[in-house]
Structure 1
C-alpha cells in the first residue's frame, strides 16, 4: 500500500506552518491572495508601496488566525526585494511561498505610447517579478513554490491597445519557464504562473457595457472570474497538491485562451 494513501487528498492543499510572501498585496487580487493563503494555514508577509493599505490587509489576515508581517516594498528596487526576503526569514525563520502579484497597467496606441510609460510597466510587471523571485529563491528551501501572476493578455490579444502590459505578461510566462528549469531540479523550488482572465473587481464599475462585452466575447463561460476562483488557483499552485507541476501557466480565464 502506498504510505501516502493514508493522507487525505484535502491535506495536500493545506499550507499549515508555511510562510508566504505576497507582493502587490495592498488591495485587489493581492489582498485576496494574502487572506486565502492565511485561510489555508500560512503565515503571510505582505508587500506593496503604500503602508496604509497594507495595515488594513494585515488585520484581515490576523482575523483568520495567522501571523502577518507588513514590509513596504518597491519591487522595482532589487535591494528592497532582498530586504523583503530577509525580513521574512528574520521574523519566521523560513520562506516557502512567493506570490508575485505586483503589477501596473497602461493603455495607449503604440505609435503614441511614451518610452517612459512603456518602461514603467515592464519595470514593475516583469523586472519586479524577477527581482522578487531572485531574492526569495536565495533563502527558500526544497519544496518551496513561486507563483507568478501573469494575465490572459500574455496569451491572447487585447481589446484595448496595451502593448506594454501584454508584452510584460508574456515575458513573465517566459520567465516562469526559465526559472522553473533553473531551480526546480537543482533547488527544489517549483515555479508556475496563473493567467487570470477578466476579474470581477472595482474596475468593472468604471467600464462601459460595450467594453465589458468585448472583453467577454471569447470567454466560453461568458462571465468574469471571482476573486475566490483565483484564490483557489493560487493555493493549489502554492501547495503540495501541485507537487509535480512546474514551469506551467494555468489559464484561469473562462476558456478565453482556448479560442
Structure 2
C-alpha cells in the first residue's frame, strides 16, 4: 500500500463539501494540534481525525501505511526526549546512557502532535479533488498556469511513488537486498538514478501532452465546472468558526487544561 494516497471520490457528505471547508478543517486541526501540550487532548484530536476519516468513507488501510512509517519516527522522538530530560526517576541505563521517566510525557506529546499534523494533512488531500483545488487557487487571483501545477502535483506524486516501488522490486529481483527500512535507505543511491530518469521522462511526457492540447496558448481559459459555497458548506464553516472561538476562549481562561 503506497504511503501517498491519491484522491478517489466517494459518495459521502465530506467529499461533496467545498474545498474551502476542507482547508478550514485542516487549519483548525493544525491550530489545535500545535497549541496543545496535553497528550490526552492530542490523543483525542487523533481520534477525531480517525472518526472523520471513517465518517467520510476512507478506509483505515489508506492511512495505515503513513501511520506505520511514522512509528519509527515517533519511537526515535520518545527515545531522544527520555535522554534529554534528566530527573530524579531514572528509567533505564545502557552503558553510559541513562534514560529518565520525566522525558516520556514530552516525547509522547511531540509524537502525538506529529501524528495529528501528518494524518490530518493526508486526510485533507485524500478528500480534496485536485480540480476543485485548482479552481480555489484561481479564485485567489493566481494565474491558471501555476494553479494547475498544484492539482497536477497531487496526481503525480502518488504515481512517482509507485514508480519508486517498481524500481525497488526490479533491483531486488536482480539480487539487491532491500528488505527493511534501513536497507532501503542504505541502498537509496543506486535506486535514485533510475528514479530520477523516470521522473524526468514522465514530466517530459506531461509537458508535451499539455503543449499539444494548447495549454498556455491564451491568457485566460474556461472551465467546465465552478465551485460555490452551498448551505451545508456555510453550516460547517460556521461550526468550525464556533469551535475555534470556543477553543481560543478556553485557552485564555483555562490554560491549564491544555498543558
The bucket for the TM-score relative to the shorter chain is under 0.3
More helix by share: 2
The higher relative CO (CA closer than 8 Å, separation ≥ 6) is in 2
TM-score scaled by length of structure 2: 0.23
More strand by share: 1
